[in-house]
Structures are given as structure tokens and as C-alpha cells.
Amino acid sequence: MKPAVLARLVKLVLGLKDIGAPESGKDAGSVLEKRDLTLPSGNSYHLFMPVSPIGVTVIAAHGVTVYGNNDVRILQFARALTACGVVCVLPDLHHIANGCFHTKDLDLISELIKNYQQNCENRLGLVGFSYSGSYVLTAAANKEFADKVTTVTVFGPCYSMAESFAVSETFKAVPETDLEWDKYIHFSVMGVHRFGREMGVSADIAAECETLLRDYCSNYSIEYKRQFYMSRLARFDPIEYFRAKVMHDPLDELSPKGRLAGIKCRVSLIHGSNDHMIHASESQKIYAELKKAGLAARCRLLVTGLLGHVHPGRIGPFELLRFMKSLRLLIE
């Protein structure tokens, strides 16, 4: 590995470890941020420009978060990349932000690929988190864009969203562990966010759900979440309502299953071994299809305890080295 690449990797990892923490502003002088830029379609995105670009542009797609591309974690991710010389584009995926799986979000990613496609002086990478990891893999496999994308890096993607939502074990009738409860309640609150009025949820309870959802991953204990669910939401059975409704979304069109042979670029799959929202077996299925298509030499799979679904896990030196190698596509 070249010394310059190693130095950027170390700087990137140091930046990523602080995601979710209060910002120091130490790299503010090396980043130019342009917010809410508008594409011809009317869709919007943020653009993060380094003072000294290294010839890499990354389109980073956020997951299910009501803050969308203003979620502090995706902003901090963009700043960590930009501090390493990478141009970072953050699309405003309005539908997935609100728990709705719609092809218009995939269309926006496609539009940005066309706008920032690679040339001899610039390489274009795609990054996706959670379900949007499925989106960027699907986009990269599209024959219209396969030659335009240099790399794909995904964190906790889903192989088939339709199958994931259909499997009964995904939503146990009675969760057993704290992690199962956490997932169960999160989908329940998302259900109220999207379908609360249809369920007959009162405005007061819906407002409380919004408050919980906005900082679900950081500010509330599992004991509080469980008590909240039992006292306010259990009688509505929101998780089953949400799942039944979501199955009408175009899930197959947004999933990479059966499409991965169309990918021509290098792919890095990173999945938390303790991811309770999307099981690591989803990335393993993606990797298996890539290998079956003869793309094993271009792909890397890391299942690591360094990540959960959102929060970092325990850091071990060997795991950290493997993680750095998996991040290499972002900045090389």
C-alpha cells in the first residue's frame, strides 16, 4: 500500500470513529460545503468539496432516518471523507428517509451518477448504508451506469428486501432479547410515522413517536423504548400494519438480488456481525451471487464486530486492520 493511501486511510478511520459525537470543527477550513443544490429534475443534494481533491468523487446514500441527508452521522461521514481529499455528494432520498421504499430514490442516485460520472481524471464511487446499500448496488449493476462507477462500498445492505420483510422471524410476535425488541420497536415507530393516521393513532401519540424516532439510535435506553411501546403502541399492532403495507412497495426493483452479474467495478461489503436490523447473512448472499458471476476477484466481504447497525462495536487491532482494507476503495 502506498504511504499516501495509508495516511489517508488512517485519517479516515480517525474521522469515522467520532461519528455521532459532537463536532470539533477542526477540519472546517479544509471543506467547502454547498447545501441543497438542485438537479434538473428538481431533486436536491449536498456537495462537500475538499481544498485539495485527490480525483475521487463519492455519492453517499443515507438509510432510513427522518433527517435524511441532514442526519448528523451522514454529514460527519461526508466531512471525514472530504478531509481525506474526496469529493462527497449526499443525495436527499426523501422516500427512504420516511420509511417508504420508492424507485424515485433510485432515480435520484442514477441522476447523480450521470452528473458526476467518472472520466480519466476523476473516479466515481458509490456508498450506501442499510437499505440504500441495496440501492447503490442495484444502480451499479444497471448496464447504463456500470461503466460509469469505479467502486461500490456498502454498510449493512439487504440482498432482497421483499424476502427480508416476508420472513416471519424478522418480526417475532414476542421479541426475546433486547436487540430483538430494539428492532421490533423501531419498525413499529416507523410504521406510525408513515401510516399513523390510517391506523387511527392519535395526534398526541404520533407526535411522541416522532420525538422518539428522531433520536432513536442515540438518546433512549431499551427499557424506555419497551415501556413506550407497551403503553402507547401495542394496541395498534403497528409492526404488522407496516410490514403488510411495505410489501406493496416496489421492493424487488430496489434489491440487488439477481442483478449483480451486471456490476463491473470493485465492491466492498461491510456488515456488522451483530447487526440486529439487517442480518449479516444478507451481505453473505450478495457476496455469493457476485462470486457465482465470476466477480470474486473484484469483491471483498468483511463481517466485523466493529459495527452494529449504527453504533460502533469493540475495537481490536486485527479487526481494525481488516476494516481499513475494506475502506480502501473510498480513497484510493
CA torsion, ordered 154, 110, 120, 60, to nearest 10 deg:
-30
DSSP structure class, residue 119: B
Per CATH, domain 3-160+251-331 is 3.40.80.10 = no
Q: Provide DSSP, 219-231.
A: S--HHHHHHHIII
CB 234 within 8 A of CB 118: no
Cβ-proximal residues to 74 (8 Å cutoff; 6+ apart), any chain: 60, 62, 65, 90, 129
Per-residue pLDDT of the chain (332 residues; tens, 9 = 90+): 788 888 898 889 888 877 776 665 555 556 799 999 999 999 999 999 999 899 999 999 999 999 999 999 999 999 999 999 999 999 999 999 999 999 999 999 999 999 998 876 789 999 999 999 999 999 999 999 999 999 999 999 999 999 988 865 556 677 888 888 998 999 999 999 999 999 999 999 999 999 999 888 777 899 999 999 999 999 998 988 898 899 999 999 999 999 999 999 999 999 999 888 899 999 999 999 999 999 999 999 999 988 877 665 565 667 788 888 899 999 88
C-alpha cell at 68: 435524511
Rounded to whole angstroms, the Cα distance separating 109 from 90 reads: 10
For the record, the C-alpha cell of 166 comes out as 416476508
322/128 Cα distance (integer angstroms): 19
Provide the edge-to-edge strand list for the sheet that holds 44-50: 31-38, 44-50, 87-91, 56-61, 123-129, 151-155, 266-272, 299-304
Does pTM surpass 0.95? no
Task: Taking each helix axis as running N to C, give the angle between helix 238-246 and helix 178-199, from 0 to 180 degrees, rounded to the nearest 10.
Answer: 70
The residue extents of the domains of the chain are 3-160+251-331, 165-246
Report the alpha-carbon distance of residue 60 to residue 89 in Å, rounded.
6
